[in-house]
Each structure stands twice: as structure tokens, then as C-alpha cells.
């Protein structure tokens, strides 16, 4: 293993449940090459192939981050939201963990105006500039800030379109992938056995439902990003 390369351990992946796909009846035909067998009616991933694809994805992530380019984390599945947000904040990258807002990529200028409005409103509240309004108006502003924070807090510092997006659950966030494709943004995604892999540029064939499985992968992504930021800062 070369210096700076992230260690990928098959046994650790298996222990985390990365190898569990979906029921046999849900197989997307193009995912068949990444399946090694069936266990209790569930397709099992070939972890040797998963490890190779994960290594390719990490190498690409390392390259763009070391070049100072932006990557966005997207994961809106209920069980993954907290994990994706935690990892994104740890890495210092933009993220979306609530419902994907249509136009976030394809209508970026309009989204940016809303983000700027949100930040301006927050700034005014912090500076005490909203106290001149009635109590009801101040309460309305507070409610609006809360709603806007849910929508935009993760992308508040994303001042331009990113070069790449990593999606943790393509079936849930296919709209994000389609927008990324239209804008030429590279797509890295965990791809479960029930998903069409064609839209992604870098696929990670793996369980995208279990928190332990996604944590294994996102930890490797986070480690790669942090290492690459150190390299780019030198």
C-alpha cells in the first residue's frame, strides 16, 4: 500500500454488513457482476469487487480534493441523515441531508439568492436589527430562519457548483444525480443491488441501508478527504 493510500479491509467490510444487498427479486440486472451469491434469499456483494471500486472512488476523491475542488455529501435516507451530516462537518464539506431541493444544481443562482437571504436574516438577528419589528413579526422571522436553516445550512458556504457529489443512497436521491449529470458534476455513489449503476461515474457496490455499512464507507471517504486537504495545504 502506497503512502497516503487508505486501507480497505474485506473482513472489516463483512463485519459492517457492506456485503448485504436486497432480496433476489429486486436485483437490477446491471448489478449482477458485483454479486457473489445468495444467502437467505438476499444477494450478497462480492467484496473483492467492492474493494476495487471503492479504491477507485477514493482515488478520484483524493485527486479533486487535493486540487482544491469541491465535493458535496448527499444522504437523505432517514437512518443516514445524522451520519452524513456528522461526517460532512468533520470534513468541512457542503452537505444535503434533508429533502433534495429541485434546482440546487440546475438552478444554482436562484438557490444562492435564497441562501444569501437566509444568511442575511441570521446576521440581522444576531446583530439585533430585528428588534425594531413587532413581537409577532420577530416571531415570524424566527420561524422563517428555522425553516431556511433546515433547507440551506449544509450548503451555506457553497458559493459555486461543486466538481463532484457523493450520494449515499441513489434510489432516494436520484433527482440530485440527474441534476449533477446535466451540469457535468461527477457522481460517486453507493449502489445497492436494486439500483441502476449507469448514472454514476464512480460506483461503490454496497449495502446503502445499514448504518454500519455506510459508516464503514463514509469513514474511508472522510479519511481520504482529510488526508488530501493536508496534502493540498503543503
Alpha-carbon distance 130 to 144, whole Å? 13
Q: Which domains does the chain have, with CATH numbers?
A: 18-102+161-233 (3.40.50.10490), 108-154 (1.10.287)
Confidence of residue 214 (pLDDT cuts 50, 70, 90): very high
Grid cell in block for residue 134:
413587532
Nearest in space to 142 (alpha carbons), one of 131, 151, 153: 131
Q: Which residues contact 213 (CB under 8 A, 6 or more apart)?
A: 13, 16, 17, 18, 20, 206, 207
Alpha-carbon distance 32 to 99, whole Å? 30
Q: What is the DSSP string of 156-207?
A: TT--S--SEEEES-TTT-HHHHHHHHHTT-EEEEEE-TTS-GGG-SEEEES-
Residue 86 has pLDDT above 80, yes or no: yes
Q: What pLDDT, on a 0 to 100 scale, did the predictor assign at position 233?
A: 59
Residue 230 has pLDDT above 70, yes or no: yes
* Residue range 95-126, pLDDT digits in tens: 999 999 999 999 999 999 999 999 999 999 99
Alpha-carbon distance 178 to 5, whole Å? 31
* Residue range 154-212, pLDDT digits in tens: 999 999 999 999 999 999 999 999 999 999 999 999 999 999 999 999 999 999 999 99
Confidence of residue 2 (pLDDT cuts 50, 70, 90): very low
Q: What pLDDT, on a 0 to 100 scale, did the predictor assign at position 4?
A: 56
* Residue range 63-85, pLDDT digits in tens: 999 999 999 999 999 999 999 99
Residue 3 has pLDDT above 60, yes or no: no
Roughly how many angstroms between the first and final C-alpha of the chain, as a whole number?
A: 22
This model's pTM is above 0.75: yes
Tell me the mean pLDDT in the region 5-9. Answer: 87
Alpha-carbon distance 165 to 200, whole Å? 10
Residue 93 has pLDDT above 90, yes or no: yes
Amino acid at each position: 500500500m502506497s503512502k497516503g493510500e487508505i486501507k480497505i479491509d474485506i473482513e472489516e467490510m463483512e463485519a459492517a454488513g457492506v456485503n448485504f444487498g436486497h432480496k433476489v427479486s429486486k436485483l437490477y440486472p446491471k448489478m449482477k457482476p458485483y454479486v457473489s451469491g445468495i444467502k437467505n434469499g438476499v444477494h450478497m456483494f462480492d467484496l473483492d469487487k467492492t474493494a476495487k471500486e471503492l479504491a477507485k472512488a477514493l482515488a478520484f476523491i483524493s485527486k479533486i480534493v487535493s486540487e482544491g475542488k469541491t465535493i458535496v455529501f448527499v444522504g437523505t435516507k432517514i437512518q443516514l441523515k445524522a451520519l452524513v451530516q456528522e461526517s460532512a462537518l468533520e470534513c468541512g464539506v457542503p452537505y444535503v441531508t434533508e429533502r433534495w431541493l429541485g434546482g440546487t444544481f440546475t438552478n444554482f443562482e436562484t438557490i444562492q439568492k435564497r441562501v444569501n437571504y437566509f444568511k442575511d436574516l441570521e446576521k440581522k438577528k444576531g446583530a439585533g436589527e430585528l428588534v425594531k419589528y413587532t413581537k409577532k413579526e420577530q416571531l415570524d422571522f424566527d420561524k422563517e430562519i428555522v425553516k431556511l436553516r433546515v433547507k440551506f445550512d449544509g450548503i451555506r458556504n457553497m458559493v459555486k457548483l461543486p466538481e463532484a457529489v457523493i450520494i449515499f443512497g441513489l434510489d432516494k436521491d436520484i433527482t440530485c444525480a440527474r441534476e449533477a449529470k446535466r451540469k457535468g458534476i461527477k457522481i460517486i455513489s453507493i449502489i445497492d443491488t436494486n439500483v441502476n449503476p449507469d448514472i454514476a461515474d464512480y460506483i461503490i457496490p454496497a449495502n446503502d441501508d445499514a448504518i454500519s455499512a455506510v459508516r464503514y464507507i463514509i469513514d474511508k471517504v472522510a479519511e481520504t478527504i482529510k488526508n488530501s486537504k493536508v496534502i493540498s495545504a503543503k
